[in-house]
Amino acid sequence: MNDNVKNQVHEPLIRVRKRYTMRWYKSWAVRVAAVILALLICALVIVLLTGYNPIDVYKAMIEGNFGNARKMWNTFQELAFLLCISLAVTPAFKMRFWNIGAEGQTLIGGLASAACMIYLADKLPLPVYYLVIIAASILAGMIWSLIPAFFKAKFNTNETLFTLMMNYVAMQLVSFCIVYWENPKDSNTVGVINRKTHAGWLPTIADNKYLLNILIVAALTVAMFVYLKYSKHGYEISVVGESENTAKYIGINVKKVIIRTMALSGALCGIAGLLLVAGTDHTINTTTVGGMGFTAIMVSWLAKFNPIVMTLTSFILVFLDRGASEIATRFKLNESMSDMLTGIILFFIIGCEFFINYKINVRKSRKEEK
Amino acid sequence: MNSVPAIELKNITKTFGRIVANKNVHLSVNKGEILSVLGENGSGKTTLMNMISGIYYPDEGEIFIDGKEVVIRSPKDAYEHKIGMIHQHFKLVDVFSATENIILGLEDEKKYDLKAAKKKVKEIGDRYGFIIDPDKKIYEMSVSEKQTVEIIRVLYRGADILILDEPTAVLTPQETGRLFEVLRNMKKDGKSIIIITHKLHEVLEISDRVSVLRKGEYIGTLITAETNESELTEMMVGKKISLNISRDEPKNPTDRLFVSGINCVSREGVPLLSDVSFTVKSGEIFGIAGIAGSGQRELLESIAGLQKVNAGRIDYIDPNTGEKENLCDKTPMQIREMGVRLSFVPEDRLGMGLVGNMSIIDNMLLRSYRKGKSVFLKRKEPKNLADEIIKQLEVVTPSANTPVRRLSGGNVQKVLVGREIASSPTVLMAAYPVRGLDINSSYLIYNLLNEQKQRGVAVMFVGEDLDVLLELCDRILVLCGGKVSGIVDARSATKEEIGLLMTKVSKDEGADNER
Could you tell me if B208 and B300 lie in one domain? no
pLDDT greater than 50 at residue B511:
no
Cross-strand partners of B85:
B163
Query: Which of A80-89, B243-252, B349-358 is predicted with the least confidence, judged by mean pLDDT?
Result: B243-252
Query: Nearest 5°: phi and psi at B252?
Result: 15, 75
CB distance B71–A9 less than 8 Å? yes
Which residues have C-beta within 8 Å of that of residue A107, sequence separation ≥ 6? A167, A170, A171, A174, A273, A286, A288, A289, A293
Could you tell me if B204 and B273 lie in one domain? no
Could you tell me if B25 and B157 lie in one domain? yes
Residue A39 domain-assigned (yes or no): no
Tell me the ipTM for this assembly.
Answer: 0.82
Task: Calculate the CA B2 to chain-centre distance.
Answer: 40
CA B373, B374, B375: angle at the middle one, nearest 5? 115
Q: Is the four-CA dihedral A96, A98, A104, A106 of positive or negative sign? A: positive
Q: Which residue of B has its CA nearest to A246?
A: B352
Q: What range does the domain containing A129 cover? A: 80-302
pLDDT greater than 50 at residue B513:
no
C-beta of residue A266 within 8 angstroms of C-beta of residue A91: no
Residue A126 domain-assigned (yes or no): yes
CB distance B366–A15 less than 8 Å? no
Type of residue numbered A320 = L
Query: Nearest 5°: phi and psi at B476?
Result: -130, 130
Strand B483-489 relative to strand B19-29, pairing: unpaired
Among residues A258, A288, A257, A256, the alpha carbon closest in space to that of A137 is found at: A288
Residue A367 domain-assigned (yes or no): no
> Nearest C-alpha of chain A: how many angstroms from B102?
29
Could you tell me if B277 and B145 lie in one domain? no
Is B73 an 8 Å CB contact of chain A?
Answer: yes
Residue B248 domain-assigned (yes or no): no
- H helix runs in chain A, sequence order: 2-8, 24-50, 54-66, 69-94, 102-120, 126-155, 159-181, 211-230, 232-242, 244-250, 254-274, 292-302, 307-330, 335-357, 366-369
Report the mean per-residue pLDDT for chain B: 86
Residue A347 domain-assigned (yes or no): no
Is B351 an 8 Å CB contact of chain A?
Answer: yes
Contacts A233 to B, Cβ<8 Å = 375
Nearest residue, CB atoms, A239 vs list B60, B351, B355: B355
Residue A214 domain-assigned (yes or no): yes
Distance CA B333, CA A126 (A): 47
Residue B249 domain-assigned (yes or no): no
Q: What range does the domain containing B100 cover? A: 7-237
Contacts A22 to B, Cβ<8 Å = none
Q: Which of A16, A19, A95, A232 to mutate to test the interface with B (most CBs of B within 10 A)?
A: A232
Query: Which of A269-273, B300-304, B348-352 is predicted with the least confidence, judged by mean pLDDT?
Result: B348-352
Could you tell me if B461 and B500 lie in one domain? yes
Per-residue confidence (pLDDT) for residue B38, from 0 to 100: 86
Contacts A369 to B, Cβ<8 Å = 60
Could you tell me if B169 and B265 lie in one domain? no
Could you tell me if B48 and B148 lie in one domain? yes
CB distance A238–B355 less than 8 Å? yes
Is B394 an 8 Å CB contact of chain A?
Answer: no
> Nearest C-alpha of chain B: how many angstroms from A49?
42
Residue A314 domain-assigned (yes or no): no
CB distance B369–A235 less than 8 Å? yes
Nearest residue, CB atoms, A245 vs list B69, B352, B366: B352
CB atoms within 10 A of CB A63: 15
Which of B237, B267, B284 is the C-terminal boundary of a domain? B237
pLDDT greater than 50 at residue B514:
no
Residue A121 domain-assigned (yes or no): yes
Is B56 an 8 Å CB contact of chain A?
Answer: no
Among residues B22, B26, B25, B59, the alpha carbon closest in space to that of B44 is found at: B22
Chain A residues with CB within 8 Å of chain B CB: 5-6, 9-12, 15, 17-21, 230-233, 235, 238-239, 242-243, 245-246, 248-253, 369
> Nearest C-alpha of chain A: how many angstroms from B391?
24
Higher pLDDT, B501 or A269: A269
Could you tell me if B311 and B230 lie in one domain? no
Q: How many CB pairs under 8 A join A and B?
A: 83
Among residues B113, B124, B119, B172, the alpha carbon closest in space to that of B148 is found at: B124
Per-residue confidence (pLDDT) for residue A370, from 0 to 100: 37
Per-residue confidence (pLDDT) for residue B240, from 0 to 100: 52
Per-residue confidence (pLDDT) for residue B509, from 0 to 100: 41
Per-residue confidence (pLDDT) for residue B110, from 0 to 100: 65
For the segment B412-428, the average pLDDT, to the nearest whole number, is 93
As for how many domains chain A has, the answer is 1
> Nearest C-alpha of chain B: how many angstroms from A232?
5
Could you tell me if B341 and B369 lie in one domain? yes
Q: Which of B376, B380, B401, B408 to mutate to test the interface with A (most CBs of A within 10 A)?
A: B376
Q: Which of A249, A257, A304, A368 to mutate to test the interface with B (most CBs of B within 10 A)?
A: A249
As for how many domains chain B has, the answer is 2
Q: Which residue of B has its CA nearest to A18?
A: B17
Query: Which of A211-225, B230-244, B297-311 is predicted with the least confidence, judged by mean pLDDT?
Result: B230-244
pLDDT digits (tens, 9 = 90+) for B438-483: 777 888 899 999 999 999 999 999 988 888 898 899 999 999 888 9
Among residues B172, B188, B192, the alpha carbon closest in space to that of B37 is found at: B192
SS3 per residue for A240-289: HHHCHHHHHHHCCCHHHHHHHHHHHHHHHHHHHHHHHHHHHHCCCCCCCC
C-beta of residue B121 within 8 angstroms of C-beta of residue B132: yes
Q: Which residue of A has its CA nearest to B371?
A: A232
CB distance B304–A5 less than 8 Å? no
Strand B217-223 relative to strand B209-214, pairing: antiparallel
For the segment B207-218, the average pLDDT, to the nearest whole number, is 89
Could you tell me if B279 and B180 lie in one domain? no
Is B358 an 8 Å CB contact of chain A?
Answer: yes
For the segment B28-37, the average pLDDT, to the nearest whole number, is 92
Q: Which of A21, A235, A252, A306 to mutate to test the interface with B (most CBs of B within 10 A)?
A: A235
Distance CA B298, CA B354 (A): 19
Residue A56 domain-assigned (yes or no): no
Could you tell me if B191 and B101 lie in one domain? yes
Per-residue confidence (pLDDT) for residue A7, from 0 to 100: 41
Could you tell me if B225 and B294 lie in one domain? no
Which of B189, B205, B237 is the C-terminal boundary of a domain? B237
Per-residue confidence (pLDDT) for residue A50, from 0 to 100: 84
Per-residue confidence (pLDDT) for residue B18, from 0 to 100: 67
Higher pLDDT, A369 or B437: B437
Which ranges of chain A have pLDDT less than 70? 1-12, 20-21, 363-370
Per-residue confidence (pLDDT) for residue B506, from 0 to 100: 39
CB distance A235–B377 less than 8 Å? yes
Out of B356-365, B406-415, B502-511, give the one with best mean pLDDT.
B356-365
The CATH number of the domain holding residue B303 is 3.40.50.300
Residue B454 domain-assigned (yes or no): yes
CB distance A246–B366 less than 8 Å? yes
- A184: preceding bond cis by omega (within 30 degrees): yes
For the segment B401-425, the average pLDDT, to the nearest whole number, is 89
